[in-house]
A = this chain, B = another copy of it.
Amino acid sequence: MPRYKLTIEYDGEPFVGWQRQPNGPSVQAALEEAVFAFTGERPPVQAAGRTDTGVHARGQIVHLDLSSERPVETIRSAINFHLKPQPVCVLVAELAPPGFHARFSATWRRYRYRIINRRAPPALDRGQLWHVPGSLDVDLMADAASVLVGHHDFNSFRSTSCQSPSALKTLDLLQVTRHGEEIHVDVGSRSFLHNQVRIMVGTLHLVGREQWTRGDVETALAARDRAHAGPTAPPHGLCLMEVRYELGADRKSDAEETVDDQ
């Protein structure tokens, strides 16, 4: 059975999240229904990151198995045809390399969190921006972000419902930059704990408001307790930008699980 790797873009707003659920439309169900309409088959569609309700993606990676080989351009355009008018589309379809698994083979994930930092609420892009009306000091946020980069126990920075057995993660990238009225928080790691990105953003926003110092972030990290970190930033500012795969990497030798529920 040939396995296909798809790169997906979606607007998370109308969905209950990536994962198929009884309480509303999911991105996974939208894709699985489109695959069925095209092929008459119902292979499960597996994703690199199980994004939460309202979280967007510009570079989600999924895989699925079909009973026979089909041209990748046909797969891409036929699934897109059947996805209409839902805000989900296949950017690229490729034959997956042997042993490829969208979730378990992923070695790096990058998210972007967008804040609009001005008095007025957004009229454009309002579904993709967290509106923070009070002033935010980006230099203080960037400095405090450096506390979190590296190999740490991120127990303070995961939701209480997170089921990962270990909170040890290596955060490679946590960059805070201003672009006019917008602030971008770019975050990269092999994998993340549940809500980790949004809790880090909610915490850094307290630093930007000068309610917290860099030292408070150090204390929160050391506490290894969710109650000591800042609030969880709202989902709609978050977007999964990119997932990378390093072929030949032996994932079993790596102590970090490659799960990712944002």
Instruction: Scan residues 73-127 of chain A and give those whose CB is less than 8 A from a CB of chain B.
Output: 76-77, 80, 87-91, 118-126
Q: Which listed residue (B56, B58, B124) contacts A56, Cβ 8 A?
A: B124
- Assess whether A10 is interfacial by the CB under 8 Å rule: yes
Is B58 a contact partner of A121 (Cβ separation < 8 A)? no
Is A123 a contact partner of B11 (Cβ separation < 8 A)? yes
Q: Which listed residue (B89, B122, B128) contacts A120, Cβ 8 A?
A: B89
**CB-nearest residue of chain B relative to A9?**
B123
Is B56 a contact partner of A87 (Cβ separation < 8 A)? no
Main DSSP-derived SS at the A contact region: mixed
Is A123 a contact partner of B76 (Cβ separation < 8 A)? no
Bound CA–CA A56/B56 (angstroms): 22
Residues from chain B with Cβ under 8 Å of A80 in the complex: 120-121
In this complex, which of A87, A88, A120, A128 has the most chain B Cβ atoms within 10 angstroms of its Cβ? Answer: A120
Residues from chain B with Cβ under 8 Å of A120 in the complex: 9, 76, 80, 89-91
Bound CA–CA A183/B238 (angstroms): 24
Q: Count how many chain A residues have C-beta atoms less than 8 Å from C-beta atoms of the other chain.
A: 24
Is A76 a contact partner of B119 (Cβ separation < 8 A)? yes
Is B123 a contact partner of A89 (Cβ separation < 8 A)? yes
Q: Can you list 23 A-B pairs with a CB-CB distance of less than 8 A? A: A9-B120, A9-B122, A9-B124, A11-B123, A11-B124, A11-B126, A56-B124, A76-B119, A76-B120, A77-B119, A80-B121, A87-B123, A87-B126, A88-B123, A89-B120, A89-B121, A89-B122, A89-B123, A90-B120, A91-B118, A124-B128, A124-B239, A125-B125
If A9-B123, A89-B120, A124-B128 are given as contacts, then 20 extra A-B residue pairs at C-beta distance below 8 Å, sorted by A number, are A9-B120, A9-B122, A10-B123, A10-B124, A11-B123, A11-B124, A56-B124, A76-B119, A76-B120, A77-B119, A80-B120, A87-B123, A87-B124, A89-B121, A89-B122, A89-B123, A90-B120, A91-B120, A124-B239, A125-B125
